[in-house]
């Protein structure tokens, strides 16, 4: 937190290199959020740029009542939602039921694939994560890729802690079930 | 028999969560005697560790540079408050000189045309005229008031606009 304060102080004092440092520190977080919500590949990077411009413009109004990562994440989240023209509630209501989702995964006649045919485990998991519902993808990214806590994810998405946990657990369970259905368990576990 | 009731997927995931490590002791007894739950725990552990390496986001190498270019465009059009704070006394000085010139207390033209060192003449004439003129305006009070006002204005600018509010 102190590091964040020093960084903000330097940026507000006019040090452009300090802002470059902030971008380097938080660009992964911003990309994870924007890329999960915005579908258009051409527009994603521009939106990420817009997020950092908003961060720059709003920095003097940041009061430090939450972590800087949560504040930047929230700007990325709201900017992405505004871009696709959705409200927060719409995004979370769009999610299909877990049963329907699993049915679509399990009932499509796939025979178990072989892990050996894939390049590596990373590719396999990436492909499976891409097929998760958007909301689960966002939360799994924030928790596992950006190391955010339930509280921070809750601050970014505006969802209660319990709901964040629930989405996260459901995402991992779906992922595990998908991998078990599609691949031999001894293969995906190795 | 309590051990027949297996842990749920939710409970097993909770065990692996960084934030819930302390709860582990509650389930240790069950795990030590239940191979089904132990196996499930191992599966989730492996899934967790594999997820960490499945990040698929690729960021272009010139992203930071592009943002900084846009920021610099923005900065060229915005007020530079630190510069303003330094300019303020300068502007106040010029205004005072202009006021003195207009009120006839000093003549800038005669100062610039005078012989000798320009700076020393300038300072001497301004200070002589200023100090002979100011007492008639109840100088002591106004000087103190102006000093306090300038200090307060500087502090206010510093506090609200230059440094972050939560400092």
Element at B164 (helix H, strand E): none
Taking the CA atoms of chain A, what radius of gyration do you get in angstroms? 19
Q: Are residues A145 and A105 in the same domain?
A: yes
Tell me what pLDDT residue A34 has.
93
Which of B19, B54, B82 is the closest to A126 by Cβ?
B54
Kindly report the backbone phi and psi dihedral angles of residue A183, in degrees, each rounded to the nearest multiple of 5, phi listed first. -125, 160
Residue A189 vs residue B71, higher pLDDT:
B71
pLDDT score recorded for residue B95: 75
Domain identity same for A97 and A126: yes
Inter-chain CB proximity B47 and A176 less than 8 Å: yes
pLDDT, residue B57, reads: 82
Please report the pLDDT score of residue A71 as a whole number. Answer: 95
Structure tokens at A98: 């877990």
Percent of chain A with pLDDT over 90: 45
Domains contained in chain A, number: 2
**Is a pLDDT exceeding 70 seen at residue B46?**
yes
Give the start-end residues of each E strand in B36-146: none
Q: Which residue has the higher pLDDT, B114 or B60?
A: B60
Are A76 and A181 in contact by the 8 Å Cβ rule? The answer is no
Q: Is B109 exposed, middle or buried (0-12, 13-18, 19+ CB in 10 A)?
A: exposed
Residue A12 contacts residue B162 (beta carbons within 8 Å): yes
- pLDDT for B119: 62
Q: A94 and A185 share a domain?
A: yes
What is the distance between the alpha carbons of residues B140 and B100, in angstroms, rounded to a whole number? 18
Confidence of residue B22 (pLDDT cuts 50, 70, 90): low
Alpha-carbon distance A79 to A73, whole Å?
10
Shared domain check, A156 and A71? no
pLDDT number for residue A156: 94
Q: How far apart are CA B85 and CA B98, in angstroms?
A: 21
CB burial of A81-95 (b: ≥16 within 10 Å; e: otherwise) equals bebeeeeeeebbeee
DSSP string, A33-62: HHHHH---HHHHHHHHHHHHHHHHHHGGG-
Residues A99 and A63 in one domain: no
B71 vs A contacts (CB less than 8 Å): 16, 19, 52-53, 56
Residue A106: its pLDDT value, please? 39
Q: Cβ neighbours of residue A27 under 8 Å, at least 6 residues apart? A: A48, A52, B59, B63, B64
Lowest mean pLDDT among A44-48, A97-101, B21-25, B145-149: A97-101
Q: Which letter does DSSP use for residue B79 in this model?
A: -
pLDDT higher than 80, residue B139: no
As a whole number of angstroms, the distance between CA A29 and CA A98 comes to 26
Instruction: Quick: pLDDT tens for B91-121.
Output: 777 777 777 677 666 666 666 666 555 666 6
Contact yes or no for A16/B76 (Cβ under 8 A): no
Contact between A121 and B70 using a beta-carbon 8 Å cutoff: no
| Residue ranges making up the domain that contains A81 | 2-86
Among candidate residues A164, A155, A161, the one with its CA nearest the CA of residue A29: A155
Average pLDDT (B12-32) is 75
Q: Which of A27, A54, A86 is the last residue of a domain?
A: A86
Write down which residue in A86, A101, A120 finishes a domain.
A86
Percent above pLDDT 70 for chain A: 77
pTM over the 0.80 mark: no
Q: Are residues A102 and A19 in the same domain?
A: no
> Are A101 and A180 members of one domain?
yes
Residues of chain A whose pLDDT is less than 50?
95-118
Query: Is A189–B67 a contact, with Cβ atoms under 8 angstroms apart?
Result: no
Whole-number pLDDT of residue B94:
76
* Backbone dihedral angles phi then psi of residue A160, each to the nearest 5 degrees: -65, 155
Domain end point (choices A68, A86, A104): A86
For the ranges A113-117, B66-70, B78-82, the maximum mean pLDDT occurs at B66-70
Say if residue A12 is in the same domain as residue A68.
yes
| Residues 107-126, chain B, touching A (beta carbon < 8 A) | none
């Amino acid at each position: 937190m102190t590091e964040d304060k020093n960084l903000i102080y330097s940026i507000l004092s006019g040090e452009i290199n300090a802002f470059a440092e902030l971008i380097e520190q938080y660009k992964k977080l911003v990309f994870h959020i924007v890329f999960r919500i915005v579908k258009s590949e051409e527009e994603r990077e521009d939106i990420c740029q817009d997020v950092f411009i908003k961060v720059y413009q709003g920095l003097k109004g940041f009061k430090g009542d939450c972590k800087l990562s949560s504040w930047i994440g929230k700007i990325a989240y709201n900017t992405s939602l505004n871009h696709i023209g959705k409200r927060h509630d719409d995004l979370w209501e769009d999610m299909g039921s877990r049963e329907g989702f699993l049915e679509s995964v399990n009932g499509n006649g796939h025979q178990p694939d072989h892990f050996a045919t894939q390049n590596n485990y990373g590719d396999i998991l990436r492909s499976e994560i891409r097929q998760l519902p958007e909301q689960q993808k966002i939360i799994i990214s924030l928790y596992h890729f950006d190391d955010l806590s339930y509280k921070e994810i809750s601050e970014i998405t505006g969802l209660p802690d319990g709901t964040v946990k629930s989405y996260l657990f459901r995402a991992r369970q779906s992922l595990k079930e998908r991998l078990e259905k599609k691949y031999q368990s001894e293969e995906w576990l190795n | 028999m309590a051990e027949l009731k297996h842990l749920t997927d939710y409970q097993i995931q909770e065990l692996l969560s960084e934030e819930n490590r302390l709860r582990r002791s509650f389930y240790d007894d069950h795990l030590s005697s239940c191979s089904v739950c132990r196996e499930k725990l191992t599966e989730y552990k492996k899934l967790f560790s594999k997820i960490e390496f499945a990040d698929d986001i690729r960021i272009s190498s010139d992203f930071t540079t592009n943002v900084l270019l846009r920021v610099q465009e923005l900065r060229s059009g915005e007020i530079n408050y630190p510069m303003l704070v330094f300019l303020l006394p300068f502007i106040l000085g010029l205004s005072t000189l202009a006021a003195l010139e207009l009120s006839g207390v000093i003549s800038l033209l005669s100062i610039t045309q005078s012989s000798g060192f320009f700076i020393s003449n300038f300072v001497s004439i301004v200070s002589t005229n200023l100090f002979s003129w100011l007492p008639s305006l109840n100088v002591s009070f106004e000087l103190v008031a102006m000093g306090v006002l300038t200090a307060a204005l500087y502090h206010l600018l510093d506090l609200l606009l230059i440094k972050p509010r939560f400092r």
